[in-house]
Amino acid sequence: TLNRPDKLNALTDEMLAALGKALSGAARNADVRAVVLTGAGRAFCAGQDLGAVADRDEEGGMSFRAHLEHAYHPVIRRIVGLEKPVIAAVNGVAAGAGASLALACDLRVVAEQASFVTAFAKVGLVPDSGSTYFLPRMLGLARAYEIYAKGGRFSAQQAVDWGVVNEVAPDGDACREAALSMAATLAQAPTKALGLTKRAMRRAMDRSLEETLDYEAHLQQIAGETADHKEGISAFLEKRPPRFEGR
């Protein structure tokens, strides 16, 4: 949980380091079968804490590039590289890099009153933290560029209509509960196979068909040797529900 509700969970270097550490822990912990990322209070994440940046710059802080590479990029890479389902429970506004965090996740559950805000252009900046990678792939170039260029926002309902999110919940608490319910369901799945599927899909986004076919075959060999595959076959033949363990 992003936990600075008084600041709408605006991001600081310390928060991002803690989030990266939590994601790394989730990756290593075999008992963690799914991850939910959400915000405390009424917002998901308002993006970068501009006050923290101003304080750092007055102290002769780092460049824009160095800040992104040091603070943001490791977190985005960990979300994308985590071979377990990662669900964003967007309980309120997701702005700037906060929207990028949500877009980097595998699945998104949003509250009805939530919205995605891309205000980079309004302060003379470029969308970052993977935003220009994720959003155009979901919306197409023209619609994504229009949103970026106008520095606009899109609502939860628009996000559903455009295929950006998977589910809408009535309010903040219901949003978190819906995301946790989704995570609980996925945690009972063959999570090793789900992780390999995530890896295959991410890789296929910039590979040829032949490369994709070859990589699918490679991953299928790995999946076929898992305990969960054996359990799935046994359960099918015995006409019973499978009991997957993520191995």
- Among candidate residues 73, 106, 218, 229, the one labeled active-site is 73
- Is 73 annotated as catalytic? yes
Neighbours of 179 (CB within 10 A): 27
Closest by Cα among 152, 153, 157 to 112: 157
Cα–Cα distance for residue pair 100/120, rounded to 1 Å: 12
Cα–Cα distance for residue pair 228/239, rounded to 1 Å: 16
- Is 67 annotated as catalytic? no
| Alpha-carbon distances of 111 from 42, 88, 93, 166, rounded to whole Å | 10, 11, 9, 11
Please report the sign of the dihedral spanned by the C-alpha atoms of residue 124, residue 129, residue 131, residue 137: positive
Beta carbons of 118 and 99 less than 8 angstroms apart: yes
Letter string b/e over residues 16-52, b meaning 16 or more CB atoms within 10 A of that residue's CB: beebbeebeebbeeeeebbbbbbbbbbbbbbbbbeeb
Cα–Cα distance for residue pair 54/72, rounded to 1 Å: 17
Residues recorded for the chain: 247
Cα–Cα distance for residue pair 91/101, rounded to 1 Å: 13
- Among candidate residues 128, 161, 228, 229, the one labeled active-site is 128
Beta carbons of 110 and 156 less than 8 angstroms apart: yes
- The set of catalytic residues is 73, 128
